[in-house]
Structure 1
Amino acid sequence: MLPGARAKMVSRRQSEILKLLDGQGMLSVADVATALGISPETARRDIRVLVDAGAAVRSHGSVGLAGQTGEAPFDRRMRENAPAKRAIARAIAARIADGASVMLDTGTTTSFIARELLRHRRLTVVTNSSDIARILATANGNRVFMAGGELRHDSGAALGASALEFIGRFSVEHAIISAGAVDAGGVMDYDLQEAEFARAVLACGGERIVATDASKFGRRGFIRVTGFAGIDLLVTDRPPPLDLSDSLTQAGTSIAIAP
């Protein structure tokens, strides 16, 4: 069953699919349809809902529970709210011109942004994410600079003093971070080193952008990254709640809602 509020979004049939998958590894869509006595098309629709919600993983015509397929934590997070993150990524990529300089921290939303930037040419990219560096390093005449240091096993991110010292050498047109939590007080995170790196990224940018889906609104992390006065633009998929919107307006921070 999906955790928290998402459980309410799961239909009875989708709950049956989750129960069927529990402990089974990967099953074909045809096997799911046969077991539940539904058409393959109906099974595919329900599975698509579960995959978009991050509860299931689909691969080559088969499906399994996200936590039971050997999937890495970062890959699993990439599937959470994927349509919203993809829309946010498209909106941000549309602001970036060919030949621009961009700095991106590690995060699932910024990884989606990197994928959208594959349509661009001659970018200069600075990042601490091995995923983002791998995506953009060999594409369309880009130059990619990756911060050094020990890579996190869960995200493939380089963090710590050497990463901070490295990115401090750069000044870019667009500094873009993801967010672990956003409330009326600003942007927060749950990891000290990730928060420190995100804060350093913002200090390097001419335009400072926070990319976050609406599921992060109202959450409160315990490490502050920045108040809203420290960012120029927040890009999200749904309008923020009133208290958060008021705080953004008072700080002079623009809000962009991704279509």
Structure 2
Amino acid sequence: MNSRQHTSGKSARWRDMAEHIVRRGSATVTELAESFDVSVMTVHRDLDELERQGMVRKVRGGATAQASNVWESNIAYRLTAHTAEKDAIARVVAGLIEPGSSVMLDDSTTALAVARHLGELAPLTVLTNFLEAIRLLAATPDIRLIALGGEYHATHDSFLGLGCVDAVEAVSTDVVVVSTSAVSDQFAFHQEQEIVLVKRAMLGSGTRRILAVDGSKLARVALHRVAPLDDFDVIVVDSNAPAEMLQRLRDRHRRVEVAQL
């Protein structure tokens, strides 16, 4: 086998191993060694590379695609997680948007679910930094699409950094829809400061602010505070969220909408 074939083989194994971990959420080193017919040491080297690429996170005895309080999941995993809940939330959020208005969407997969419903509300002006949403909305009739540029981050499939913050701060929209990876009784959180800076800028550029989060994110914290829950006009969460957590959210916030599955 020549060096090009060897590199191609490793790249294919990395891709397949990442897909395996994303599909299951996590996997052990032993499981991966058996599944891919390689040594444990090779698996460790492969996981080092996948972690460097931001695809997975190494943990004791294996790897995970799931988020922690300091690490956000790769976009490939987030696109497959809690899809029914996100779609239910998106339908409620879409009902809060008036035709003819301007809407800013962040780079969350929940906001992407909202984007799938925006064609029903056209004409609209939509602004987003999420490349997948840009691809989707570019083909939607009567949507005036404004892409919020910056430095592209493959892990999130979105544009971030100073360029994105500047683009967000240069506009003002009727509605901004954001999601975060963790929500406590008082704050919304995210693991990565570059994401936090863009979300904060978006909240400052929206007249009406909607927080859209599935129930798995409630009663959790992450490294960075995005904003107090009082900064949001509406919080939309799905009905699969534990009743106790929903009640605590209602007790502390003036408007909570529950999306029924």
TM-score normalised by structure 2 residue count: 0.68
Partner residue in 2 for 1:208: 209
Pairwise mapping of residues 49-128 of structure 1 onto structure 2 (< 5 A)? 73-128=74-129
Which 5+ residue runs of structure 2 have no aligned equivalent?
1-19, 37-63, 66-72
**One-letter code of the match for 1:141?**
D
Higher mean alpha-carbon deviation, 134-143 vs 234-243, is at: 234-243
Runs of 4+ in 1 over 2 A off after TM superposition: 238-250
Partner residue in 2 for 1:140: 141
The Cα offsets for residues 168-207 of structure 1, whole Å up to 9 and x where unpaired, read as: 1111111110111001121000010111111111111111
Residues 102 and 126, structure 1, Cα contact 8 Å, conserved in 2: yes
Residues 200 and 226, structure 2, Cα contact 8 Å, conserved in 1: yes
More relative contact order in 1 or in 2 (CA 8 Å, sep 6+)? 2
1:193 aligns with 2:194: yes
- SS for the counterpart of 2:195 is helix
**One-letter code of the match for 2:254?**
T
TM-score normalised by structure 1 residue count: 0.69
- Whole-angstrom CA distance in 1 between matches of 2:118 and 2:195: 23
- SS for the counterpart of 1:221 is coil
- Whole-angstrom CA distance in 2 between matches of 1:79 and 1:156: 15
Pairwise mapping of residues 1-259 of structure 1 onto structure 2 (< 5 A)? 23=35, 73-238=74-239, 242=244, 245-246=247-248, 249-250=251-252, 252-259=253-260
Residues 234 and 253, structure 1, Cα contact 8 Å, conserved in 2: no
Q: 1:23 to 1:119 in 2, by over 3 A?
A: farther
Shift of 1:75: 3.0
Shift of 1:145: 1.0
Shift of 1:100: 1.4
The Cα offsets for residues 101-135 of structure 1, whole Å up to 9 and x where unpaired, read as: 10011011111111121322121011111111111
Residues 183 and 244, structure 1, Cα contact 8 Å, conserved in 2: no
- SS for the counterpart of 2:209 is strand
The Cα offsets for residues 113-170 of structure 1, whole Å up to 9 and x where unpaired, read as: 1112132212101111111111112312211111112211112111111100111111
- Whole-angstrom CA distance in 2 between matches of 1:210 and 1:135: 21
Partner residue in 1 for 2:11: none
- SS for the counterpart of 1:158 is strand
Partner residue in 1 for 2:13: none
- SS for the counterpart of 1:198 is helix
- SS for the counterpart of 1:23 is helix
Partner residue in 1 for 2:52: none
Shift of 1:218: 1.3
Residues 128 and 147, structure 1, Cα contact 8 Å, conserved in 2: yes
- Whole-angstrom CA distance in 2 between matches of 1:120 and 1:236: 21
Shift of 1:95: 1.6
Shift of 1:219: 1.2
- Whole-angstrom CA distance in 2 between matches of 1:255 and 1:2: 34
Which 5+ residue runs of structure 1 have no aligned equivalent?
8-18, 25-65
- Whole-angstrom CA distance in 1 between matches of 2:159 and 2:21: 31
Identical pairs, percent:
28
Question: Aligned Cα RMSD in Å?
Answer: 2.8
Residues 151 and 164, structure 2, Cα contact 8 Å, conserved in 1: no
Aligned residues: 198
Residues 184 and 247, structure 1, Cα contact 8 Å, conserved in 2: yes
Residues 181 and 189, structure 2, Cα contact 8 Å, conserved in 1: yes
